[in-house]
Amino acid sequence: MPVLAYCIVESELEIDVPHVGVQDASIQSLTDSGLRCFISDYAASAAATGKPVQDAAVAFNAVLQRIFRQTAIVPFRFPTILQGTSELSGFLRQGASGYRDALLRLRNKVQMDLRISFLDHAEAAAEIPVGRSGTEYLQRQQARHQKLAAAARELRRAGGPSVERWSEREVPNGLRCYALVARSSIKEFLGQVENALLSPDLSARVTGPWPATEFLKED
Amino acid sequence: MPRASTNVIIASNDALGDVSVLDILDHVLTQGVIVRGNLIISLAGVDLIYVGLDLILTSVETALRHMGPFPALASGHDEP
């Protein structure tokens, strides 16, 4: 039976685990190499498009958040479906040392996601109006990059000393930033970052706390 | 030069939070460990799942582009 993998935690921790997860399947766990991995049986024959997948993703996140409120986790990307538990055990053994180190290092840390986007959809797509040149396109692209970079710098500055680490990724419609913050500093971080001053044609959406997936590896 | 604005939206993920379904989808589909070679497994119906994910991803990205500065706040159980 295929299994859906949720997340990895340190094996010796006592955790209050949800009884059911995606597709109302029972949450089980597998322990190997000092790690504990939460899984549930997954029926691939269930409807696999549209709302059922969306509902499954929400149910998946609910399981992660319930465990994450209690301890650091290494979540799997949704959906990670393996053929069985032996495959999962092999995966845990292969990466055990790195995951144990990460879980220890990130034990009291969370990730805050900041998504910067243009309010003007045409600007977001960096579209070229008909009749304009490629040079103008490149200049617009450069200006766009600079604006996004400036917004990221401002958000990082505004976050203050509660930001322990920071990373960024360009996405088609803007920029994603990730801040590593101590769990005890979440409110302080949010209170500071909401006062960041951005260009009026930009907005930033801050969500979290999430598991610190961007920071699993040390610098 | 345009004046700066405080156009920062906080969508908290705590028990009373206002993180939207799109935020959740956006996060769980793009973050987390990947077990390489296992997102597609050799079972009937898996191709449907993969195609479904492509559609979901497209919908999320498209929806995020059109979310605007102050999207309607919703609980984690609301429809996008």
Per-range mean pLDDT, top range of A23-32, A78-87, A128-137, B49-58? A23-32
Model ipTM value: 0.81
| Closest Cβ–Cβ partner in B19, B35, B46 for A80 | B35
Q: Which amino acid is at A216?
A: L
**Residue A173's pLDDT is what?**
77
| Closest Cβ–Cβ partner in A91, A204, A216 for B8 | A204
**Residue B68's pLDDT is what?**
44
| Closest Cβ–Cβ partner in A81, A199, A213 for B38 | A81
- Between the alpha carbon of residue B13 and those of residues A19, A117, B17, B50, the distances in Å are 21, 20, 5, 28
Which of 1-60 (B) contact A at CB < 8 A? Answer: 2-14, 19, 21, 23-35, 38-39, 41, 43-46, 48-49, 51-53, 55-56
**Residue A196's pLDDT is what?**
93
How buried is residue B13: exposed, middle or buried, by Cβ count under 10 Å (0-12/13-18/19+)?
Answer: buried
Higher-confidence residue: B57 or A117? Answer: A117
Q: Which amino acid is at A128?
A: I
* Interchain CB contacts (distance < 8 Å): A and B: 175
CA torsion angle for A162, A171, A56, A86 (degrees, to 10)?
-80
Higher-confidence residue: A201 or A83? Answer: A201
**Residue A43's pLDDT is what?**
79
Region A166-179 average pLDDT: 91
pLDDT tens digits, A98-109:
999 999 999 999
Least confident segment among A34-38, A132-136, A160-164:
A132-136
Which site among A77, A100, A120 would you substitute to test the B interface, given the most B Cβ atoms closer than 10 Å to its Cβ? A77
> How far is it between the farthest Cα atoms of chain B?
58
Question: Which residues in chain B are closer than 8 Å to A194, comparing Cβ atoms?
Answer: 6, 8, 10
Percentage, residues of chain A above pLDDT 70 = 90
Higher-confidence residue: B58 or A198? Answer: A198
**Residue A2's pLDDT is what?**
85
**Residue B18's pLDDT is what?**
76
- DSSP structure class, residue A205: E
Bridge partners, B11 (sequence order): A207
* Strands annotated E in A33-187: 35-41, 74-75, 81-82, 109-118, 163-171, 174-182
**Residue A123's pLDDT is what?**
53
d(CA A98, CA A217): 8
Q: Which amino acid is at A219?
A: D
Across the interface, whether the CB atoms of A204 and B67 are under 8 A apart is answered no
Region A36-51 average pLDDT: 75
pLDDT truncated to tens, each residue of chain B (80 aa)? Answer: 455 667 898 887 765 567 888 888 888 888 888 876 444 443 444 444 443 444 444 455 555 555 544 333 333 333 33
**Residue B64's pLDDT is what?**
56
Question: Which residues in chain B are closer than 8 Å to A78, comparing Cβ atoms?
Answer: 28-29, 32
Least confident segment among A40-44, A155-159, B50-54:
B50-54
**Residue B5's pLDDT is what?**
66
**Residue A130's pLDDT is what?**
56
